[in-house]
Structure 1
């Protein structure tokens, strides 16, 4: 033992003895993933690099993800087939496919894409294996390994239907070879969307421009629908809250108003839509059996689906008429109004399950009721507007109260009634809520304003600018409350003022606003022009929808970051100009489960459905 120890000491002495005499001998701990000068423990000052999902190589020290990393770039026909078929060839193939087959095939593709249990990567991989033979199959699968590339373009699926409304017949002429749907679908995508050759400035200011309108329309069209959130919110707003708030002077019985305007019981419409949605997603057709067991006659079901369905010849006319007048590639109003088509054999084809959900459970029923109300009956229209606004406001406040942490002996969230008592006066407009986080305030304004269909379709800059101006008017209420809190917050809290508070203003919309670098640039410009939110203690405006709030609610239940932490972190994040849910899912990499409140409502809907 002694001899071995001595040997080690000699080895160590020999090791350090080769160093210059003026240096002290030592042993340095070498860290992984650190660059050193050769033969020394001295760290080299070197830039590390990393590759983003978009393919861009950047220094590791720079920000994380960026908006460009959220884009999915679809394969072109040249990447798939090796050539770019001319439009004449594409139209020739569409012309040789019967219109009802186009509808059936397109519906199957959209149902597969919308399946909640499937990712886009899985869907593209599935269709690549079904559609293509070798060597195209391997070529496509190799390209799809890049997670930023996609194969099936939903917009192109709708565009094939639009072209078929003009070109396809009701049956294939005897002796003619049937056209190739897949070739038509992949190739048509090359001719859609923004033309990079347009002579227009790439600098976005004052107006979105053509590229801005394209981004807005694209984002709205491709927004994913969370079925649990949409159905639960609708159930609470239209069915439960009007009963609970029946004594509220602003509330009306929304079910009765709907029945009076549309002529069909709202729950019948909802039940039929849920059955068709589930049938499309699962690929089953046992609706008749389900309805027979519950005593629904054929007439009752037909009345219910008449609200959102149309027969094939009428659908062809509606699509063709819209395409003739279309100014953009995003004109799909006929699809949004009639997401279910009744074919020649009376079978029902759900063109897009997401469109069906939004047609029945989104904001469309609000516009539908308004369209049926006699334009001269201003009082009835005003009562309905008041009722739906009150229900949306109450639902949003419920979610906010679920988000805000409770604190013994102190109030954290103040509703509009509290704010009005403290600061109200003649013609004083104030927001709907304010949340006290101790060092910071989060004032919240809830609005039922929506982008018009003209803005969603990207028809002109004027429509979008006018819609953004409506939202900025709501910011005036947030600015008003911030100034009053800065002047004397004791009037609201009853406690002594806290110095150096920060303010995080939030605007809540019922359905998704296209938050992106273009729209937010325009919003911030208009806020600046109006001299609003200009104090250094006021953080940038955050625009969220109710689904964003529900995701934040779920995070609170699962010990995630607070609402304030999310607002504070997002203001300097790579995805600061994208929706809150993108920041949570893609930048923070959090995947919250459904909140218990939403889950309870979701289950109540299906319990009611099975009690039909």
Structure 2
């Protein structure tokens, strides 16, 4: 074939490749732009409207040009089961049979090791999973797990499964293994818990309206159990609510000295509890989850006071077994770990102390739980005169100071003088709107063109609601929150009618109202709970004006994240609310929107450093002093 014919043939091949699929009528009716890098449809000169596709973590394929913002399902992780790891379905009862051939102490140490690894500051769940697979699995199961973990939405170690392993072991594992009995399969026992965990006989409705249903109950309990918080934030709030604010407001007749009330009711000094719990927590984050009891004798605290603290926060293995036996079977779910939360320190033989999960230790000593020591003193402790009244006043004091703390954070968030805005507190709102029976929110923040109206409530999920007990507790707890919305709604109506009564200035432009419910102790915010709350609010005609944005819910950790963003010259609270309302995670929590949609990395608020030091001061004061240099 000569060169001319060969060239003609090649041109015809190119023409068929590029234009054979085009209708004849189009071949001369438009111009094609053969720009570099611009894809066309195969067999045509027509530009491709969608040139490339990307797969989201959820598996959904979307055009590359579309915004790659996550959906709520993208934030969910799915744990691996024994069947996926071993390739076979485990036999019924495998976990119990294995634990019956394992000593209780060995199971508790195993659970504590991996719970501590997951709770270490800056720990990556993925790296811990890979470490577990590399050290605890061999052969094909290890290879299979490492391959499955390439999917970033898969998890191997689940804190709930480790806690269930410990709880089951307390019930069935012997104190020591008889001679001649082969050791049980500890890893298999754990993975078989993951195999059966979360299986419900009935999932309930798949369309969520104004009731969560069985599946909703599980999701609420899951999020409540796995809620993450910063230790520095917990300690900062402890220092402010339990130590500083009672001293600053001691002249007010309704305020109780919480430290004194704690000692009167328990016989234990609050600073001793902070020192010993702080020391044990510090040892766990060093990777030491078993501590020799003798180590505590190095602290400058008398022996009887140390023992008083340990009586409150620790229990023996046999004591934990007795507590679990006392639990009512109908209240026990896969999310209930009451004895481990009340006694996060476990007494082992030979004078050793085991911290099963450092998260529980921090909550026990520095969160809300010390108020329960005041309300329910240890057995054998003689209650002070007027105990019931004192305990009620102490709890009310803590609730009041929780609201004061939120107000302080709001003032920090809104203190930028470069914009015209101001926080109006409860007292100012009540002075402006004094109609008979008028209900008022706790705060309102004035932004140009907008009001953020805020109600703070220390209401918490009851134990039954938090652990997915199949009753009406979750919907009853949600209804308590709906009652709080009435105060936001009434305040919005007052501002809409006459904001000059509060500000002294008549509004010249229409305002948009952003209702915000703050629960300092946390609440599981997800598409189910937000949908249920908003639907129940709608049925009562609350927050339904065309000038009113959808209700949002935040906890104190999320407000402190926004405080850190503000200190870092980031977007304002109003801008974050507006962004969330328009974002793909508008039905999830603030934390998820800030981290995954706005892609911000909020620094810790600067004031937390001083408060952290105040919380740890009792520990610093009793630590052994280094010998002076000569």
Q: Provide TM-score, normalisation by structure 1.
A: 0.90
Structure 1 position 494 matched with structure 2 position 494: no
2:81–2:191 contact (8 Å) kept in structure 1: yes
1:237-252 matches, within 5 Å, as 237-252=241-256
Q: Is the Cα contact below 8 Å between 1:291 and 1:297 reproduced in 2?
A: no
8 A contact 1:91–1:167 mirrored in 2: yes
Tell me, in whole angstroms, the C-alpha distance in 1 between the residues paired with 2:555 and 2:317.
35
Alignment partner of 1:417 is 2:427: yes
Query: Deviation digits for residues 268-297 of structure 1, max 9, x if unmatched?
Result: 111111111121221236776875454223
Q: How does 1:145-544 map to 2 (within 5 A)?
A: 145-195=150-200, 198=202, 200-284=204-288, 291-322=296-327, 324-372=329-377, 379-407=389-417, 412-544=422-554
Corresponding residue for 1:83? 88
Residues of 1 paired with 2:204 and 2:419: CA distance?
59
Question: More displaced, 70-79 or 154-163?
Answer: 154-163
Bigger Cα displacement from structure 2, 375-384 vs 114-123? 375-384
2:410 and 2:552 mapped to 1: Cα distance? Answer: 15
Distance in 1, matches of 2:605 and 2:43, equals: 56
User: What is the root-mean-square deviation in Å for CA atoms of aligned residues?
Assistant: 2.6
Give 1:50 shift.
Answer: 2.1
1:382-419 CA-to-partner distances (Å, cap 9, x unmatched) read: 42233112211111111111111433796611111111
Pair 1:387–1:405, CA change in 2 (3 A): same
**Please, which of 66, 69, 73 is the counterpart of residue 68 of structure 1?**
73
Task: Determine if the alignment matches structure 1 residue 35 to structure 2 residue 39.
Answer: yes
Q: For each residue in 1:66-97, what CA deviation from the matched residue of structure 2 results, as whole angstroms up to 9, or x when unmatched?
A: 11111111111111111121133322211000
Deviation at 1:26, TM superposition (A): 11
Gaps of 5+ in 1: 1-19
Report the counterpart of residue 7 of structure 1 in structure 2. none
In 2, the alpha carbon distance for the partners of 1:216 and 1:348 equals 33
State the number of aligned residues.
Answer: 590
2:49 aligns with one of 45, 67, 71: 45
Residue in 2 that maps onto 1:8 = none
Q: CA distance change for structure 1 residues 301 and 403 in 2, over 3 Å: closer, same or farther?
A: same
State the partner residue of 2:581. 571
CA deviation profile, 1:131-189 (whole Å, cap 9, x unmatched): 01122222211111111001112111111222222321111111111111111001111
* CA drift at 1:327: 4.2
Give the direction of change, closer, same or farther, for the CA distance of 1:83–1:298 in structure 2 (3 Å limit): farther
1:117 aligned residue: 122
Contact 2:274 / 2:618 at 8 angstroms: preserved in 1? no
Q: TM-score when scaled to structure 2?
A: 0.88
Cα drift, residue 194 of structure 1 = 3.3
- Measured in 2, the distance between the counterparts of 1:573 and 1:448 equals 28
The answer to whether the 8 Å contact 1:209/1:461 transfers is: no
Which residue pairs with 2:590 in the alignment? 580
Match of 1:6 in 2: none
Q: Structure 2: 5+ residue runs without aligned partners?
A: 1-25, 378-382, 623-630
Is the contact made by 2:272 and 2:618 (CA closer than 8 Å) also made in structure 1?
no
The alignment status of 1:598 with 2:594, answered yes or no, reads no
Helix, strand or coil: the match of 1:307?
Answer: helix
| Shift in Å, 1:28 | 7.4
